[in-house]
A and B are shown apart, each in its own frame.
Chain A
């Protein structure tokens, strides 16, 4: 009995590496601490009522944000482990297998469990407020999306201590990711973690398309929408066309692994390149999914902090929509070396370069918006200014990579690594951080401290260039990605050491940001006006943080930047309070615990599939079906916020008399 438990445990839990034991201990201690706090302060009811069952888009957005920052921490630690390993030649800090796991989880987490939730957090926190809505189109589905993401991310992350991490790269190419190359459960964690959260992402895409099409305030025609809302719309369109491909691709890989299929195997007539094509048909649009909202954020910030309307609104919209279409015709540029032939490669090379045109138009529009504007260098604007040169260089190296014949030289070298980190950090991360700084006061009611924020800003920026500029050179010197160590004779040592120093500077920048948040919770400048940046769009017309129903009176938005126009009309005098008689009871959705339970059932099913425990997988899937049916039979899902409560809230905020 003891022997069988011992043998089970030794294969079930990851063992052997001191780093893992350290992680085990810290995970255990953190869990105990959380449980202790919840029991000691009797917070279980609060947690369930206010957070786990909420369908409020603002709270869901905050949960996305917190989860994504935790994932940024984990993905960042992975990055620092890699840079520590590569700092000097012949280092044996990590073993080869461990290094493979670290770069796999770093990539997967940063794209799917950091960038995506941070983006969805911003969607949720901002879009309904910006279009004058009281929630998204399907608040219940929105909660389902969040909890699917959450449990998918948990499933992926426990592979660190249970069963073993995936180690076949962030896109898990077969045949390496097939049973022949990866017989362990790590790949199954990869497949199910992404699959479960991916279903949630797809649902969010549908949700925001309908929200933007159907829930806008009266008067807000499509061409009067704020730029961020446009960018969310274009990003959501890409989501609904790209994510089904990911779902199918991962399912097919799992069928190969679980049922012995031969879709992507080397034997039985399988074709591994089919997988590579499919995964990039999702994977390339995916980078536009995450970067377009960042473009939208920059457009809002540039206009606000230059005190001007955005330059070239129509061309901005056209650029967003054309990028969302072009993004589907570039996937082969990730593997020009497949040997598809000159004609095919030329098509994809030209399509790739064509994306540079709308993107370039956007860069010029941002510059022209700033031209002769009254620029204020607040934190969101700093990140925007840092983004522009960084992204231009990243874009230029991207066009270099798009030159198909030359790509045979750069392919899978550190030149590529430097390029995509430059567009993903310089574009996406800078953009989302700018967005967080910008909208933080709206959601939380206080600004983030300026002094600490500037430290973080400079550390991130200097660290970025110190880290990634040497990698372009290393790529030309022949260093390929995913090597876990290299010899003294290669001559790569000095530049790698510089790069590692840069990575740690960015790490320190992140620590400053955590400190900044904690410090500002206590000492941050409170926002009593609801309009701390002198904003232009509807979200700034309501108090910070907004009441649960957002808008007591649904606003009319007949022009672009309608809040700004309204402020100009009243000469920037305070908005007159609304007579209480005009307030009405407000129709809102009820909270529900079903999304949480439903997603937890997916987690159970996913865990069962990972280990091939059919009883557990079936149990989980039955739970999924039952929770769906329970929801189908619920008809009492909404209520009216009584008019007295609306009046009290508005009078207390000084917005009604």
Chain B
């Protein structure tokens, strides 16, 4: 990108700057959690984490490790400096309590971010061949001297300069360059469902295609889906009760289906179906899913998604539905 740097204004020493050879893995990961307009982006030396939260019952996180990026530079001292400035301004509110000081948190408009990244995608949603945009572009034309450019793939440079500044994206495809600035927002106190605070009582890893079939069979007229894991047959059962009757899928503990199975206690929990269905996109892209349920009944789906010759993870945590008979006190007493 040396040719580009010669004409574009030299950026200031940036807090965070990363370059992506191909935006497609990042776009795929972001699309799995794109059911909310805004996402919190946490930048730390190991990579980026995008988090979305819905009605305080569902938290979804997409992890983009630093190894996914061609270059990844994150200035830790600068982050701490900005952080201290912020804390001083807020009189040490507990909003960032417990967070290590070397991370930077910022809230980005997620759907705008995805639109910008997919700017060069053609009408079919896939990366355009580049010829069309190259011929009709109005942005600065540069011959791309970068040998790493894949044919028809968009490269991107993302940069962030600290709280209060815009999140910058520079996209380049076949010589067409586009510069996007997204306004950022101050992060609100995050919802943490504290999944790891309680011991995991049940865990299994299942091939995603079986889970995909199960999700397709779930009765959409039903309010809740019930997940039952036991140490005896049937080991794993997903069921819904809808207007036309009930549907359930049962899986046994065979190696072909369940890669690993661990069950400390037999438990059946209910979750809101509309929330569970939000992870359909992540499920569609993943190879394997790890399902964990902790002592409180919180459910965690961890999807393993292949990205660029490696794997990335997207994590969904759901809060269980408490039944009408069981009061909240009983549910917490169950812990």
Question: Do A and B belong to a common assembly?
Answer: no
